[in-house]
Structure 1
């Protein structure tokens, strides 16, 4: 099998997997329909883009070919909206989000006078000199600006969502954010390689561009298989948070502007005592889905004050604060000789964790050792 046939085969497999996964996401019964639909649309756009990049896969007309190539302008905006929908439970598509389609419209509108509306001979002449056409040059610059802007924006959303999660939740959502960060990083690497491909395309080394193009097809296939594996093996992974929650630093900043902090030193000591008593006696940390709202409701301290108390006064994220109690409880079980037969997996579920990786990370952070190593030293 020569290089061309190999590329076509890889492209066909990638397209089929993309379309299969998009169909699965559109039909599977889940409460996260918007996230699934957005990622399905991203996969469909990806499949179209792959098809448009292989001349011998199908032969559309020139207008259709150029229009298909502009589909790329919709991919990253769709992925960005997907990240928002995964991070925030209350995210909804609104008319204002149509602004993300503006680059796609601009890319096509500027081609109307000298390409879309002219005769076939003029179209061919335009494409033969595409590297010198202002419209093509503008679109290339616009694509690369869009890649940088949306990748940075996605990472900023994930960074903020992670901070909000750590300050308000103590469940497994952090695993979802970690994975989404990894997936975004993989896409960033993909688009960086695509950028290099485009640069070499207009140099004295076009063959490097062709090899990078082949590598991109393989990389794309790996990324899609990775997502499919993760989605099917962890159907409960993708959970989201409330976007109305504020970061503690913003709460404190607002308090400084409006008056004294909501919690003074005397109230701080009283509420801290109440909080610790509740954690030690009622053991709410055993609930793997515990949130700061749950604790607030039980001990009658407003969420805003409780958040400042834990995240600012104790200098701990709520996530770490709760995990400290879970790890202490796990250590007690590991020390208990009567429970030597209890496995580490059983212990992590018993103390409120629902992920082995998050338990091991938290345990090592607290003790400097893995749970297995800790047990062996006793």
Structure 2
């Protein structure tokens, strides 16, 4: 099989994989992150259309003319916008479109005008302008998506003690890879022969698509399904550790009272050993509101919820590592301390102690 045949095979795999994954996300068998998966499914379908002309060429043996796929070219430009919509709903399932959001259509409108002018024969300079608009839109919406995910990662630390399954890292990595590949592709289209890069680009895209399939299908529900609890958590500011200080939610006396109550509960009941502990569960134990508890942790301890709980977990893990009577493995100690994976345990332990759990255990045993 030569390079051309191999590239054709990869193109078929790309198109088929994207269409299949799109259908899986749209049907959403697990019924999780419904709105986000709906928009993500549309994004995947739009993404698949970028290989439609190559697939049609393989089927018919004839090069597809520009005007034949003109409607497809029109909707393709919405791909980064739709991807951003999916990110919005992953990070905020209660998001609602407003009239002010009409600005989302400004760049697509400019691109459609360029496409129409190219179709009517005005290839210069509108053909190049349309490619530049594609690059601008890709940069703008991938950048906006990246910022939204980073803000989400800060927010979830305000209410979740284990963020590994809900931090959307996989989307963050995909954004970076797609951004780099798209920049290379656009540069080659403008200044070089894009056919020389086709095999490399398609091979990278195929790997990215399988990465997307794996992580998107295993993505669990990020926010609670119960509407009241969801709204409580969404309304917590991502930067509340600094913002909440500016406006007092409770009196100083009440803050001290809840702070002491919280410390007693953490020492006596050890709720941090529950790997699914979140702000709602801890607030229910203390019989206080989630906003008040968040305020106490942020203001009274100068930490977010994630930091506060995991410091207790690490202290518990250190005791187990120092205890020679317990023959737990590192993974066993991670689970016993309230972590739900060895990766998150190692990362948090190294961040707080400057050593890995294995290094700390060796040091404690005097080896």
TM-score interval for Structure 1 and Structure 2 normalised by the shorter chain:
0.7 to 0.9
Following TM superposition, by how much is the alpha carbon of 1:323 offset from its aligned partner in structure 2, in angstroms? Answer: 0.5
1:351 aligns with 2:349: no
When the two structures are superposed, what TM-score results if normalisation uses the length of structure 1?
A: 0.82
The 5 A counterparts of 1:164-175 are 164-173=155-164
Greater displacement, 26-35 / 12-21: 26-35
Other-structure match for 2:244: 251
| Equivalent-residue separation in structure 1 for 2:316 and 2:187 (angstroms) | 52
Q: CA separation in 1, counterparts of 2:213 and 2:114? A: 38
* Change in 2 beyond 3 A, CA 1:95/1:23: farther
Contact 2:74 2:115 in 1 (8 A): no
Separation in 2, partners of 1:105, 1:94: 19
Q: Which residue of 2 aligns with 1:119?
A: none
Partner of 2:33: 32
Give secondary structure in 2 for the equivalent of 1:167: coil
Deviations 1:125-171 (A, max 9, x none): x3xx73xx243233223222211210121111112111111122212
Aligned CA-pair RMSD: 2.8
> What SS does the aligned partner of 2:168 have?
helix
What is the Cα deviation at residue 19 of structure 1? Answer: 1.5
Greater shift after overlay, 283-292 or 218-227? 283-292
Quick check: 1:217 aligned with 2:206?
Answer: no
Q: Give SS of 2:222's match.
A: coil
C-alpha change, 1:288 and 1:221, in structure 2 (3 Å) is same
- Work out whether residues 38 and 82 of structure 1, in 8 Å CA contact, stay in contact via their aligned partners in 2: yes
| Equivalent-residue separation in structure 2 for 1:94 and 1:9 (angstroms) | 44
For 1:288, the equivalent position in structure 2 comes to 275
Structure 1 residues 4-19: aligned runs within 5 Å: 4-19=4-19
Aligned mates of 1:136, 1:368 — CA distance in 2: 55
Structure 2 length normalisation: TM-score? 0.84
Structure 1 match to 2:51: 50
Separation in structure 2 between the aligned mates of residue 265 and residue 92 of structure 1, nearest angstrom: 36
Deviation at 1:36, TM superposition (A): 2.3
**Could you say which residue in structure 1 is the equivalent of 2:318?**
331
Aligned to 2:227: none
Structure 1 stretches of 5 or more lacking a match?
117-125, 201-205, 256-260
Match of 1:77 in 2: 81
Call closer, same or farther: CA 1:90–1:356 in 2, change over 3 Å. Answer: farther
- Within 2, Cα distance between the matches of 1:7 and 1:236? 31
Q: Secondary structure at the match of 2:291?
A: helix
**Equivalent in the alignment of 1:258:** none
Q: Determine the structure 1 residue equivalent to 2:152.
A: 161
What does residue 272 of structure 1 align with? 259
Distance (Å, rounded) in 1 between the aligned partners of 2:299 and 2:165? 20
SS in 1 for 2:25: helix
Q: 1:199 to 1:54 in 2, by over 3 A?
A: farther
Q: Given that residues 172 and 289 in structure 1 are in contact (C-alpha distance below 8 angstroms), is that contact kept between their aligned partners in structure 2?
A: no
Q: Which residue of 2 aligns with 1:190?
A: 181
Residue of structure 1 in register with 2:215 after alignment: 230
Q: CA deviation at 1:110?
A: 4.7
Distance in 2 (CA, whole Å) between partners of 1:188 and 1:314 is 39
For residue 298 of structure 2, the aligned residue among 305, 308, 311 is 311
Bigger Cα displacement from structure 2, 56-65 vs 27-36: 56-65
Distance 2:117 2:356 in 1: 66
In structure 1, distance between residues paired with 2:4 and 2:221: 38
What residue is the counterpart of 1:239 in the other structure? 222
SS in 2 for 1:168: coil
| 1:265-292, Cα deviation, whole Å (9 max, x unpaired) | 5444333211111111121112222222
Contact 1:49/1:71 (8 A) holds in 2: no
Query: Does the CA-based 8 Å contact 1:176-1:237 persist in structure 2?
Result: no
Distance 2:77 2:116 in 1: 17
Aligned residues: 350
| Secondary structure in 1 matching 2:78 | helix
In 2: Cα distance, 1:303 partner to 1:367 partner: 29
- Shift in Å, 1:50: 1.4
Alpha-carbon distance between aligned partners in 2 of 1:6 and 1:134, rounded to the nearest angstrom: 35
